Amino acid sequence: MIKISGLTFDYPGHRALHQVSLEVEAGSVTALVGSNGAGKTTLMRCIAGLETPLAGSISVAGMDVLEQPREVHRIMGYLSDFYGLYQALTVAQCFEYAAAAQGLPEAEIAQAIQTTARQLGLSDRLQQTCDKLSRGLRQRVAIGQAIIHGPKILLLDEPASGLDPEARASLAGLFRQLQANGMTLLVSSHILAELDEYSSHMLALREGRVLEYRALVHNGSQQALGQSPPRSLRLMLAQPDARLQAQLAAEPALQVTASDERSAEFNFSGDEHAQAALLARLVGAGLPVCGFADQKENLQQSYLRSVASYENGQTSNPGKSGSAS
């Protein structure tokens, strides 16, 4: 859906993006993460066709963003990190203006306003002017403006900033719903726990380079694109048992990462059937197993691990479709 090739972007005297190449799959939700100044906003602005790169190209749904910006904008919604709202307009007027500006047929605008207001919990605010809204409500209006034309691709730069916990939770629900309807989302945030709730992929940037782009597999493990890493498991016993470590040491497909007499964490390279057989052997050996489950690595852990491996000079770079370089 989004194809970026060799993207290099310079601000005067500063290179913000270095040779970024990336393919984002249709229907994915990509969490765009990275420290302050990593290049997240710059990358989004380039994808939205708002900046002209020094080198490289970006296509969205097969269209070059610089050659066909209007066509791209018809199918794209973009919420900038700093946005403005017309203070004197009501929420309904803001939505109407955004819908008309995006070329929505006039006959569809009233319905689109109602639908968008409902999605964002703004139905009872439609007649209120923006200067009377709290920061969080203004944020919701801005998100509404970005989605009112039903885009195929949505770029959101820090969309949850200023939202209360309830609004953040409903935003996560909205993103899941938009994805279920086939929308492709790219969302930046520094609150990784929040992104974790709805993201299918993680794109980590550092100093203008892609640190890592990976699919997040939410059934208990995360999988680097093009690789099949061992699953990380945790075993708990009902009471301490001195035989545990010897029993695990006898298993060739696992590598213990932490253990004591009552619990162990290990990487296991077998599939689910091999995992079931392993559990049967441990129980069969008389160990009082009371817990045996995948350890889910969350987005925060995954990101910090990417950063640590980068700093150790071992950048992970899968480099193919659904991949990055």
Ligand X SMILES: Nc1ncnc2c1ncn2[C@@H]1O[C@H](COP(=O)(O)OP(=O)(O)OP(=O)(O)O)[C@@H](O)[C@H]1O
Contacts with ligand X by CB under 6 A lie at: 11, 14, 16, 34, 36-42, 81
Distance between CA atoms of residues 51 and 74, nearest Å:
18
Nearest approach in angstroms of CB 37 to ligand X is 4
Distance between CA atoms of residues 224 and 216, nearest Å:
8
By beta-carbon proximity to ligand X, the closer residue of 14 and 70 is 14
Nearest approach in angstroms of CB 161 to ligand X is 10
Strands 209-215 and 231-237: unpaired
By beta-carbon proximity to ligand X, the closer residue of 42 and 316 is 42
- Provide the β-strand partners of residue 164: none
Strands (E), the chain: 2-11, 14-24, 29-33, 55-60, 63-64, 76-79, 153-157, 184-188, 201-206, 209-215, 223-224, 231-237, 254-259, 263-268, 289-294
Q: Residue 296 corresponds to which tokens in the numbers above?
A: 């889910």
CB of 195 closer than 8 Å to CB of 33:
yes
By beta-carbon proximity to ligand X, the closer residue of 8 and 123 is 8
Q: What are phi and psi of 31, to 5 degrees?
A: -85, 120
Instruction: Give 255-289 as a 3 state SS string.
Output: EEEEECCCEEEEEECCCHHHHHHHHHHHHHCCCCE
Nearest approach in angstroms of CB 158 to ligand X is 7
By beta-carbon proximity to ligand X, the closer residue of 113 and 208 is 208
Nearest approach in angstroms of CB 205 to ligand X is 6
By beta-carbon proximity to ligand X, the closer residue of 38 and 195 is 38
Q: Residue 184 corresponds to which tokens in the numbers above?
A: 């492709």
By beta-carbon proximity to ligand X, the closer residue of 161 and 200 is 161
By beta-carbon proximity to ligand X, the closer residue of 40 and 138 is 40
Nearest approach in angstroms of CB 159 to ligand X is 13
Nearest approach in angstroms of CB 143 to ligand X is 18
Nearest approach in angstroms of CB 14 to ligand X is 5
